[in-house]
């Protein structure tokens, strides 16, 4: 993400009703189930923020294309969950991860962008761990979704907006920064080939040769992927 982005707002809706687990009028068997669920939740806790329940229940995710590098394929299952959570094509999500970090969860840019989706610090809420994959993904993909909406569904423009700020979506491409033009070129080509049932992406190979090899090598070592 670019430092020119405007910080998105993140809101969490909470609803309650008389039939929840904390209701004082539940029958004893249901109360036992609720207490048991709470105990299981804490027993299975992890260092990363849990994936919200609503993310886990939104249908069957689309299959991730095989064109992406092994470092991105490492995250295939999580990519599908994250994509389903925000209503994005997992191949578009994987394209952004490919270019931003090549799957390195500890990646950091000179501008201060962090993690898998290279999210700038001001996109995080107080108490967030910017490098936690679930948190980084939900913050970054919120912005990607808003960029896609501003681009009226055009993935090339959405990718440009992710890199250069949503404001570039309405600008002439001549006015885009050179970095944003390159980002749109790489990303749109990779995504088009990933979406076409291709077994490999020539644009991805071109990106690797131009600038991506060292990034992917770093991710490869970080993830401990066997050669």
pTM of the model: 0.74
Which domains, from first to last, does the chain contain? 49-223 (1.10.530)
pLDDT tens, position by position, 161-217? 999 999 999 999 999 999 999 999 999 999 999 999 899 999 999 999 998 999 999
The catalytically annotated residue of 100, 179, 193, 200 is: 100
- C-alpha 19/C-alpha 35 separation (Å) is 14
Concerning whether 100 is annotated as a catalytic residue, the answer is: yes
The pLDDT tens digits for 93-141 are 999 999 999 999 999 999 999 999 999 999 999 999 999 999 999 999 9
Q: Within 13 Å, how many C-alpha atoms sit on residue 57's CB side?
A: 3
CA distance 61 to 53: 15
- In 56-143, DSSP assigns E strands to none
For all residues of the chain together, what is the average pLDDT?
80
pLDDT per residue over 69-83, tens digit each?
A: 999 999 999 999 999
What pLDDT score does 197 carry?
Answer: 86
3-state helix, strand, coil in the chain (%, to 5): 55, 0, 45
Instruction: Give how far the C-alpha of residue 143 lies from the chain's centroid of Cα atoms, to the nearest Å.
Output: 9
38-94: pLDDT as tens digits: 343 333 333 333 333 233 334 444 689 999 999 999 999 999 999 999 999 999 999
Nearest to 137 by CA among 201, 172, 85, 189: 85
Kindly report which listed range (12-16, 150-154, 164-168) carries the lowest average pLDDT score.
12-16
- What six digits make up the tokens of 64? 């991730």
């Amino acid at each position: 993400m670019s430092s020119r982005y405007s910080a998105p707002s993140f809101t969490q809706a909470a609803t309650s009703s008389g039939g929840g687990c904390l209701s004082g009028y539940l029958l004893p068997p249901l109360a036992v189930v609720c207490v048991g669920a709470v105990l299981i939740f804490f027993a299975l806790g992890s260092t990363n923020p849990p994936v919200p329940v609503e993310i886990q229940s939104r249908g069957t995710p689309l299959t991730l294309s095989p064109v992406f590098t092994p470092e991105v394929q490492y995250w295939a299952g999580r990519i599908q969950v994250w994509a389903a959570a925000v209503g994005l094509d997992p191949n578009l999500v994987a394209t952004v991860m490919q270019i931003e970090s090549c799957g390195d969860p500890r990646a950091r840019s000179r501008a201060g962008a962090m993690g898998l989706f290279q999210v700038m610090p001001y996109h995080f809420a107080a108490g967030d761990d910017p490098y936690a994959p679930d948190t980084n993904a939900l913050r970054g993909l919120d912005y990607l979704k808003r960029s896609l909406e501003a681009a009226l569904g055009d993935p090339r423009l959405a990718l440009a907006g992710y890199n250069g700020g949503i404001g570039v979506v309405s600008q002439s491409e001549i006015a885009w920064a050179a970095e944003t033009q390159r980002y749109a070129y790489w990303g749109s080509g990779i995504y088009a080939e990933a979406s076409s049932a291709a077994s490999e992406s020539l644009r991805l190979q071109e990106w690797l040769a131009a600038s991506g090899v060292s990034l992917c090598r770093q991710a490869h070592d970080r993830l401990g992927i066997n050669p």
